[in-house]
Structure 1
Amino acid sequence: MDYLRTLGSAAVSSLVQKSGLTLPFSLGARVTSFDNHSIWNLYDGTKRDDGSPVSVFEFDAGSPGKRNVLGLAKNALRKLRTIRHPDVLKFMDGVETDSTVYIMTERVRPLSAALSEWSSKEAQEREDWLIWGLHRVSVALAFLNDPCSSSHGNVRVDSVFISASGEWKLGGFDVLSTPKDEAAVLYTMGGLLPDSAAHSSPEVKKGGWSVLKEHNPAVADAYALGLLIHAVFNPTLPPPATTHPPHPPPTAASRALIPNVLFSPFKRLLNPNPKARLTPKDFLEIGMAQTAGEGSGFFANNRLVKVCSGLDNFSLGSEGEKTTLLRTLKESSSSFPTEFISFRVLPSLVSALQYGGASAPAILPLVLQMGKSVAPQDYSSVILVHLVKLYASPDRGTRLALLEHLSEYADKLDKKTVGEKIWPHLQTGFSDTVAIIREATVKSIILLSDKFGDRILNNDLLRFLAKMQGDPEASIRTNTCILIGRLGPSLGYNTKRKVLVPAFTRALKDPFVHARVAGLMAFMATVDCYDVEELATKVIPNMTFATIDKEKLVRDQAFKAMELFVKKLEEHAASMVRCPVILASAPSANVGHYHPAAGDRDPRE
């Protein structure tokens, strides 16, 4: 592996030295499982400007047997530059010289590797995944064949890749051509593709690649799509007999693991007559139809297809449709591919949260539930960065959900994020006109307090809390007092002396009984925050009136508090140094002497 990686890096270095080009990527490990499967070498790479992961397809005409297919590599680069579609491999940049072509795309891995991984999955789960992937390929082909009036010409397992989100992406654009293009390479160079004969349609086997100019651009891709279906469901079996003259239609015995619902349209894709052959567009329409009879609806009824469709149209759906989708996600998420959850479902749900609405309180718990399956190194980019942005949302439902579920992600936030991106928006909750937002804001503070800087903790926050102690809602006043009590030990020394006693004394005068109890308990919780003089001259004097409160609950708590503080004073007094009593001089003759009665103690003792 290291040797191969060195070869790739050396090729890049040589290219840079000879051409003076600045490449937009750095090569990483070579994906050896893709070797000898196409005209390309595949590398994991990183984008040079931001370090993000990419894939790099390398073509070197200097390699044995490659010079004659340089035109195919240049065609792939030219076509990928101009074609943009969600189900097509995402092009990011490219470099081309007289003998070398590099194509940088989103980070992907070959479908062949993923098929091996999925071979051990439960049968229904694997079938769902394969049908979902074939749906994405069919959508891409329908786009290329109709709006683009082009033939892909290279549909096979080695032309399909798996993105970071687990979605199938169509690549392999080496011979993508349109009949209207005089320089189209498919009709003159199609036979130069590796194993081209094994993947070609009957009319090509009979008349050569040029015969495709006379047909609908979809016919060759339709036949290859049928072969792809066989390959992904039956990877250990040889190609069906229909690939060899006289191209007999597949029989029921040759179905193997292809689902029954797919078998009828599968046979129509492999029709040896190109004019009667089912096109990818027709195949897609049959799969999405709900009432077209037997052999239809295999895409529409696939749970992964339904989830993707629901996510794509979430903002346009009714509340009932949104509720149904969220319920499906909640019930089925454990069986979805991890990468699909992390990079397809979660980003879509977080995006939906940005629009707020009635579904927001239901979405956020689901996001956090699914977030548990996200790899720790990806959690920040997949979950946190989006949640942090939502603190600026004007939607109260979204803000309330963020606060109520803060305990599930607070430990993953850092001080800089809290201080610079969350606090500026969080503090507006203290003055919100809706009481439930104000209360949720107060309750959230304790979860973030250890990430507040000194200025926020000892100044800005306490000003807001002083205001909240006068809130019209009794529960908010009570919770504010409790919060101050919990924050007490972490406050600065001078802040403690200035804030704590007045805050708790104010609570003791609150008309709400539980606020008064909270004031007493806050005094007790912060007992170590006061020096002895404060206890004797400020704390105890400011709470003694609570011992005769009209409510027994308050009185009982007051006496418990008094007992605690008096004991603290007694312990201190016991440790104080005894001061000696200085006796006066001998009394004058006319002053009587004091004679202690029995039982009296001598003051000199």
Structure 2
Amino acid sequence: MDYLRSFGSAAVSTLVQKSGLNLPFSLGPKVYSCETFWNLYDATKRDDGSLVSVFEYDLTNPLNKSTIPLARNSLRKLRSIRHPDVLRFIDVVESDSAICIMTERVRPLPLALSGSSSKAAHEREDWLLWGLHRISVALTFLNDSASSTHGNVRPNAIFITPSGEWKLGGFEVLSNPKDDISVIYNMGGLIPDAMACAPPEVKKGGWSVLKEYPVSAADGYALGLLLHAVFNPTHPSPPTAQPPHPPPQPSSRGAIPSSIFPSFKKLLNPNAKSRLSPKNLLDIGMAESGGEGCGFFVHNRLVKVCAGLDGFNLSSESDKASFLRTLRDSASSFPPEFASYRILPCIVSALEFGGASAATIVPLVLQFGKNVVPDEYSTIIIAPLVKLFASPDRGTRIALLDNLPEFAEKLDKKTVVDKVWPNLQTGFTDTVAVIREATVRAIVLLSPKLSDRILNNELLRHLARLQSDPESSIRTNTCVLIGRLGPVLGYNTKRKVLVPAFSMALKDPFVHARVAGVMAFMATAECFEVEDVAGRVVPAIVGATLDKEKLVRDQAFKAVELFVKRLEIHASTMVNAPSTTKFASLINYLLAAGHSNNRRGRERSTQPSRCFHASWPCQFSDGRSSGSHRMGCLVTR
């Protein structure tokens, strides 16, 4: 209750106190006092936490008693009219003290206009024309499909969504001549400053005179005044708005684009029967050709993008590819709010249908996502992408995996464990090799966010299977991945898994897999106990020093040197540690032992292709020299 008293109105607080209602929203700060006697608040929907707006009409205010029928008319019309360009109704709470209408989150056009002054001139013009296009569509629907007159078209009756879209509201006097209660004819003058948007015929004969004219007559004139107001917000109303209503002159154009100025003059025609209607304006603006003064809507880039988004799923693949190229090439030029709340939801939704476009759409989502504020990135970008991991479409899966480096850091551990991993692991057993390999590469990025249970059990079982994969590149990458995972595995897991896994890679017929096995041993050098180094690691690597490929041999000698040096350091700390000279004999002994193990079970050649002999002086522990000792031949075919 204190929250409501701090931020809400007295009417809302009284509503809760007297009625005991459980409001479906949490009221936030007051945003605006609308000219049409509504107070606008930011709010949060209780059941899902989504952002909404609340329009509050105080029924207890004595000044509002005469306009209560208008408030109820607005509620009735808003509740019944559903159109993409009309303010979206969600819920309402009514009592004896107030009417609270909950809608989508919006802010009034006057506030948005003041905030758009910092935009570049061409960006602001594009946004204004796009907005006027949407209002023209909404008015055309009301005039033609609903056979109604809005009667209150002005900046305060238009609201802007977070995406920058214009939505028509202000339905206080919206009337159909066939309605039993057509409030515009009897109560149109009760709206504050009603004559500001009234056409000449109303100023001469009152609101009831509209019965004699087309339902679009008043709205067409008000649309012309709105056009002037948004392009010239600091200018007074054009002279044509006052008697004797002279036609607009070129000198009054101000910032109105020259392309739409001819239509602007026709909207303000004092003759109602010859006046341009919102539908006429829409037709002229959407005409591809027709000479000067046409096409000002159809060539607007925001209008074109919205049309492309709305029809994307029904377009051919070639049209989709062309549209996506257009988005990609002009991504940086769109207003941030338009990209975040209008383009992104549409192209993410398109991914649910899969197809060849996924490879283009996912990078595009991430490209537009760079403009999203950090607080909203997880909601707008991460949540939809994570959801797509459950898609059975392979094109979508490979697109997500290929672009994972762009958003992996933004994933939290809980999301990876609970939502990504259960779907991602199916890629290890996919019948398409590209998916299996991309899944292996993805684990490198996600491994820091996997739980110990997944790392030491589920993941290693998948990798053990992939070490025998038919694709050599997958076997190689699997070995590389195990090498990278080595330091974070559990102690017992390291001792059981690493040596067998890397030793298996050393026997792989693919040269780069064998190289990966040697390098994996080196990358995980600190993971092995010194006893394992001497008894298991070095003997496993020594055989690779005589590999048929020089690339493997060179790397194997480096690995042997690395591990033997570690043994040497450890041995120097032992009691009666051998001298460096005596330790050299140990190196050669281990090399010989490794070679012997490598050739065990194979038939020895009687004609060696190459022999390496090594001689070294030996010493006993008491310091006596044994002279020269000759090592047997290391043979490779």
Superposed CA offset, 1:224-257 (max 9, x none): 0010000001111111111112211111111111
Q: In the alignment, which residue of structure 2 is the partner of 1:71? A: 69
Partners of 2:72 and 2:429 lie apart in 1 by: 62
Partners of 1:357 and 1:600 lie apart in 2 by: 75
Partners of 1:544 and 1:125 lie apart in 2 by: 68
Partners of 1:145 and 1:462 lie apart in 2 by: 66
Superposed CA offset, 1:164-207 (max 9, x none): 11101111111111111111211111100011011101111111
- Indicate which of 347, 350, 355 corresponds to 1:349: 347
Superposed CA offset, 1:474-511 (max 9, x none): 11111110000000001111111111000000000000
Tell me by how many angstroms 1:38 deviates.
2.2
Could you tell which deviates more after superposition, 318-327 or 469-478? 318-327
> Is 1:91 matched with 2:98?
no
Partners of 1:190 and 1:92 lie apart in 2 by: 26
Q: How does 1:305-344 map to 2 (within 5 A)?
A: 305-344=303-342
Distance 1:600 1:96, change over 3 A: closer
Tell me by how many angstroms 1:470 deviates.
0.9
Partners of 1:184 and 1:61 lie apart in 2 by: 22
Normalising to structure 1: TM-score of the pair?
Answer: 0.93
Q: In the alignment, which residue of structure 2 is the partner of 1:545? A: 543
Partners of 1:7 and 1:120 lie apart in 2 by: 29
Superposed CA offset, 1:549-601 (max 9, x none): 1111111111111111111111111111349xxxxxxxxxxxxxxxxxxx998
Q: In the alignment, which residue of structure 2 is the partner of 1:527? A: 525
Q: What residue identity is the alignment partner of 1:352?
A: A
Is residue 5–residue 28 contact of structure 1 (8 Å, CA) maintained in 2? Answer: no
Q: How does 1:197-208 map to 2 (within 5 A)?
A: 197-208=195-206
Q: What residue identity is the alignment partner of 1:536?
A: A
Is residue 508–residue 546 contact of structure 1 (8 Å, CA) maintained in 2? Answer: yes
- Indicate which of 457, 477, 480 corresponds to 2:478: 480
Tell me by how many angstroms 1:512 deviates.
0.7
Tell me by how many angstroms 1:64 deviates.
5.0
Superposed CA offset, 1:511-567 (max 9, x none): 011110110000011111110111111111222211111111111111111111111
Q: How does 1:92-131 map to 2 (within 5 A)?
A: 92-131=90-129
Q: What residue identity is the alignment partner of 1:136?
A: R
Superposed CA offset, 1:251-306 (max 9, x none): 11111111111111111111112111111111111111112222111110000000
Superposed CA offset, 1:346-389 (max 9, x none): 01111111112222111111110110110111111111111011
Partners of 1:398 and 1:578 lie apart in 2 by: 64
Normalising to structure 2: TM-score of the pair?
Answer: 0.89
Partners of 1:198 and 1:326 lie apart in 2 by: 44
Distance 1:4 1:541, change over 3 A: closer
- Give the total of aligned pairs: 584
Q: In the alignment, which residue of structure 2 is the partner of 1:589? A: none
Is residue 186–residue 208 contact of structure 2 (8 Å, CA) maintained in 1? Answer: yes
Q: In the alignment, which residue of structure 1 is the partner of 2:267? A: 269
Partners of 2:271 and 2:93 lie apart in 1 by: 41
Q: In the alignment, which residue of structure 2 is the partner of 1:593? A: none
Tell me by how many angstroms 1:36 deviates.
5.6
Q: In the alignment, which residue of structure 1 is the partner of 2:552? A: 554
Tell me by how many angstroms 1:472 deviates.
1.2
Partners of 2:475 and 2:293 lie apart in 1 by: 65
Tell me by how many angstroms 1:69 deviates.
0.7
Q: How does 1:149-168 map to 2 (within 5 A)?
A: 149-168=147-166
Is residue 545–residue 556 contact of structure 2 (8 Å, CA) maintained in 1? Answer: yes
Distance 1:313 1:5, change over 3 A: farther
> Is 1:399 matched with 2:393?
no
Superposed CA offset, 1:7-30 (max 9, x none): 734432211222232221122111
Q: Is there any run of 5+ residues in structure 1 with no aligned partner, and where?
A: 580-598
Q: In the alignment, which residue of structure 1 is the partner of 2:29? A: 29
- Indicate which of 450, 468, 471 corresponds to 1:470: 468
Distance 1:47 1:3, change over 3 A: closer
Q: Secondary structure at the match of 1:66?
A: helix
Q: What residue identity is the alignment partner of 2:258?
A: N
CA RMSD of aligned residues (A): 2.0
Q: In the alignment, which residue of structure 2 is the partner of 1:592? A: none
Q: What residue identity is the alignment partner of 1:14?
A: T
Is residue 87–residue 140 contact of structure 1 (8 Å, CA) maintained in 2? Answer: yes
> Is 1:194 matched with 2:192?
yes
Superposed CA offset, 1:108-149 (max 9, x none): 111111111212322111111100000010111111111111
Q: Secondary structure at the match of 2:118?
A: coil
Partners of 2:3 and 2:62 lie apart in 1 by: 18
Is residue 5–residue 29 contact of structure 1 (8 Å, CA) maintained in 2? Answer: no
Partners of 1:496 and 1:481 lie apart in 2 by: 14
